[in-house]
């Protein structure tokens, strides 16, 4: 069903309390796929496909994530009022019942379907979850929808070369205004796609002048994986300033273009056998430093240009580039933005949220319902389900003795174990939606513990030893430990540790003295807040080391069984599942 016909179907719909609920399913068919279910404008549940398939960055088909959402809500496909979907390059040919495999919908499904363009979904993911009634929205990512798939072009300023130069163009960055009920594009920039340009030793994955695409390319260059952008950001502080000084981007007329000749300098790609990272560490660290610095300049240039074009005191930011916490902090501190909201699931995993909110606000013309700010959008697991998981694990692994204890109040015994130096797997409530573990699917430790970073990287996460860990801190205490004291509930900004705490809390301090901080309040994660309070009462420290409950290459654990299985595969000391504490 197309956009205009669907609007006609819903134009007279008015939801009255007591009538049948309005369920809208948003679903993302790009990489990092996900699905989200709204009930009367509020998120009921949302899940990333990788958590279910156990394949990192999985996408392309939404059967598992749709099934998960409907099962959690206890509804069927026929209870849905609308499905809104998004992919990347596909639009008209996305079938209800089939897309890169069987979907959860039958061919004869009568639920209205709408397919929207990529940046529109990113923008609405921020609109639906932000605290603002009105705002401007900036989207920067690796590659959006092709020009001819975009339904948000009318009224926007679009550089003329998009239409005058031959080639297939895709969204590069988009800037919008949301007036409380409708989103209007103000400025959209596009980049030509060159999939087969082999002039240089490396090439961008899609768009020729994309900031996100270039950063992914360098991630692949340094680590052999396009999706290791976060790792590249962590490697950059080990690099030396001034080793590479060549500009990477041309910053002109409010636009960013890659200086193509720079690609010739990337002539030593990492190969596990021939050029292992460890033996060529400084070379790749210098590359990462250069690329991170130039990327920050480019992002800030776009922000300044768009704010000069149309300023607003409330700015939302989404798209995969918005996950660069170092650049985000520079934006916050140097652009003069009064209020900045960065979508926690800024990458393609957040597209499903945007689809759902687009359906509620734009198609059904319903008022935006204030979001709680929580990212804990997964399904929770009851204690009886955890007992069933323990029983099943014992059956499957008869040689392993599973020792566990049930506690009415698990907070104080857990805080005691942490204060004793134990490294703990912490599994509570519904899983966080997005790439960060924020205190529900986390590995936790005392940041004062000697060599804790090396212990977790080597024996639990099984990843590179340079990778840093984040501090979770009581929001009311953040200024005691960190210089800027930003509010940062989504672990998407960095701060600088105060000198007096640098050695004492070495486990959460990166090599350059920075930390990717999570500030914790009681309003949407009470158990984790209470744990931090209890740990402070025992140690005087209101900070815990927090990293995601997974290992290298593994999606964050979703189910109790997965948590138990991983617990016995690594050197975690303790596993806390709801009210159960399991020890080895």
Tens-digit pLDDT profile for residues 337-393: 999 999 999 999 999 999 999 999 999 999 999 999 999 999 999 999 999 999 999
**In terms of pLDDT, which residue wins out, 387 or 90?**
387
pLDDT value at position 10? Answer: 55
* Confidence grade of residue 276 (pLDDT, cut at 50, 70, 90): confident
- For the purposes of burial, counting CB atoms within 10 Å of the CB of 211, is it exposed (0-12), middle (13-18) or buried (19 or more)? buried
pLDDT value at position 267? Answer: 94
CA 517 to chain centroid = 15
> DSSP per residue over 159-178, as a string?
-THHHHS-S-EEEEEEEEEE
**Tens-digit pLDDT profile for residues 38-89:** 999 999 999 999 999 999 999 999 999 999 999 999 999 999 999 999 998 8
Query: Is 3-118+351-363's fold the same as 131-342's?
Result: yes
User: Residues 193-221: what's their mean pLDDT?
Assistant: 89
**Tens-digit pLDDT profile for residues 291-321:** 999 999 999 999 999 999 999 999 999 999 9
> What number of other Cβ atoms are within 10 A of residue 307's Cβ?
17
- CA–CA separation, 176 and 315 (whole Å): 10
- CA–CA separation, 380 and 440 (whole Å): 10
User: Residues 110-130: what's their mean pLDDT?
Assistant: 97
- CA–CA separation, 111 and 131 (whole Å): 31
- CA–CA separation, 320 and 212 (whole Å): 7
Give the domain 3-118+351-363 fold: Nucleotidyltransferase; domain 5 (3.30.420)
Q: Which runs of consecutive H residues, i.e. helices, occur in 134-228?
A: 161-164, 211-223
- CA–CA separation, 425 and 545 (whole Å): 12
- Are 144 and 171 in contact by the 8 Å Cβ rule? The answer is yes
Question: Nearest to residue 232, comparing CAs of 300, 290, 297, 174?
Answer: 290
pLDDT value at position 270? Answer: 87
pLDDT value at position 272? Answer: 65
CA dist list (Å): 246 to 254, 265, 332, 549: 21, 10, 26, 39
> What number of other Cβ atoms are within 10 A of residue 65's Cβ?
30
- CA–CA separation, 34 and 64 (whole Å): 9
Question: Nearest to residue 516, comparing CAs of 468, 557, 458?
Answer: 468
What are the boundaries of each domain within the chain? 3-118+351-363, 131-342, 383-583
- CA–CA separation, 22 and 75 (whole Å): 12
- CA–CA separation, 462 and 464 (whole Å): 7
* Confidence grade of residue 3 (pLDDT, cut at 50, 70, 90): very low
pLDDT value at position 115? Answer: 97
Rounded to two decimals, the pTM is: 0.95
- CA–CA separation, 488 and 493 (whole Å): 6
In the DSSP assignment, the letter for residue 280 is: G
> What number of other Cβ atoms are within 10 A of residue 136's Cβ?
24
23-28 and 34-39 as β-strands: parallel, antiparallel, unpaired?
antiparallel
Q: Round the average pLDDT of the chain to a whole number and report it.
A: 94
* Confidence grade of residue 17 (pLDDT, cut at 50, 70, 90): very low
CA 368 to chain centroid = 22
Q: Which runs of consecutive H residues, i.e. helices, occur in 366-405?
A: 383-396
Question: Nearest to residue 94, comparing CAs of 31, 29, 147?
Answer: 29
pLDDT value at position 4? Answer: 45
Question: Which is the CATH superfamily of the domain at 383-583?
Answer: Carbamoyltransferase, C-terminal domain (3.90.870.20)
514-520 and 470-474 as β-strands: parallel, antiparallel, unpaired?
parallel
**Backbone φ and ψ of 416, nearest 5°:** -65, -45
Q: Which CATH architecture has domain 131-342?
A: 2-Layer Sandwich (3.30)
* Confidence grade of residue 2 (pLDDT, cut at 50, 70, 90): very low
- Are 332 and 493 in contact by the 8 Å Cβ rule? The answer is yes
- Decide if pLDDT at 241 tops 70: yes
Q: Bridge partners of 82?
A: 24
Spell out a b/e string for 337-352, using b for 16 or more CB atoms within 10 Å of the CB, else e. Answer: beebbbbbbbbbbbbb
**Backbone φ and ψ of 133, nearest 5°:** -80, -40
pLDDT value at position 123? Answer: 98
């Amino acid at each position: 069903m197309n956009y205009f016909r669907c609007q006609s179907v819903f134009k007279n719909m008015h939801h009255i309390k007591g009538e049948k609920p309005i369920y809208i399913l948003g679903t993302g068919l790009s990489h990092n796929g996900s699905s989200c279910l709204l009930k009367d404008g509020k998120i009921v549940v949302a899940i990333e496909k990788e958590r279910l398939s156990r394949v990192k960055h999985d996408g392309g088909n939404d059967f598992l994530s749709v099934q998960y959402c409907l099962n959690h809500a206890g509804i069927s496909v026929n209870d849905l009022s609308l499905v809104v979907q998004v992919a990347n390059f596909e639009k008209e040919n996305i079938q209800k019942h089939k897309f890169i495999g069987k979907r959860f919908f039958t061919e004869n499904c009568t639920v209205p379907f709408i397919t929207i363009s990529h940046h529109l979904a990113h923008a609405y993911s921020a609109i639906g979850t932000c605290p603002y009634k009105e705002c401007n929205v900036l989207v920067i990512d690796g590659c959006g929808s092709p020009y001819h798939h975009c339904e948000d072009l009318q009224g926007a300023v679009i550089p003329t070369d998009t239409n005058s130069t031959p080639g297939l163009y895709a969204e590069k960055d988009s800037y919008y205004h949301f007036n409380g009920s409708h989103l209007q594009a103000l400025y959209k920039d596009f980049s030509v796609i060159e999939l087969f340009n082999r002039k240089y030793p490396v090439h961008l994955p899609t768009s020729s002048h994309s900031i996100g695409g270039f950063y992914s390319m360098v991630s692949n260059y340094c680590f052999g994986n396009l999706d290791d952008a976060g790792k590249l950001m962590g490697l950059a502080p080990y690099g030396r300033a001034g080793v590479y000084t060549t500009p990477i981007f041309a910053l002109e007329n409010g636009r960013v273009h890659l200086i193509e000749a720079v690609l010739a300098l990337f002539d030593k790609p990492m190969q596990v056998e021939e050029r292992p990272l460890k033996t060529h560490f400084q070379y790749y660290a210098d590359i990462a430093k250069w690329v991170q610095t130039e990327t920050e300049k480019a992002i800030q240039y776009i922000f300044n240009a768009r704010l000069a074009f149309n300023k607003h005191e409330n700015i939302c930011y989404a798209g995969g580039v918005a996950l660069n916490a170092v650049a985000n902090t520079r934006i916050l501190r140097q652009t003069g933005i009064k209020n900045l909201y960065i979508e926690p699931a800024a990458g393609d995993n957040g597209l499903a949220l945007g689809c759902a909110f687009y359906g509620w606000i734009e198609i059904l013309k319903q008022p935006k319902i204030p979001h709680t700010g929580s990212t804990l959008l997964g399904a929770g697991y009851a204690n009886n389900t955890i007992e069933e998981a323990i029983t099943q694990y014992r059956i499957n692994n008869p040689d392993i003795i599973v020792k566990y204890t049930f506690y009415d109040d698990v907070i104080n015994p857990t805080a005691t174990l942490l204060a004793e130096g134990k490294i703990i797997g912490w599994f509570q409530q519904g899983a966080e939606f997005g790439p960060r573990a924020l205190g529900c699917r986390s590995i936790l430790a005392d940041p004062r513990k000697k060599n804790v970073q090396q212990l977790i990287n080597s024996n639990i996460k099984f990843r590179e030893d340079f990778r840093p860990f984040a501090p979770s801190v009581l929001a009311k205490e953040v200024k005691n430990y960190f210089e800027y004291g930003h509010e940062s509930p989504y672990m998407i900004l960095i701060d600088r540790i105060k000198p007096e705490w640098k050695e004492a809390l070495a486990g959460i301090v990166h090599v350059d003295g920075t930390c990717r901080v999570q500030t914790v309040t009681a309003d949407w994660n009470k158990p984790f807040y209470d744990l931090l309070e209890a740990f402070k009462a025992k140690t005087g420290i209101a900070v815990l080391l927090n990293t995601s409950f997974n290992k290298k290459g593994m999606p964050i654990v979703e189910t109790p069984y997965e948590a138990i299985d991983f617990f016995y595969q690594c050197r975690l000391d303790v596993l806390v599942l709801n009210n159960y504490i399991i020890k080895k």
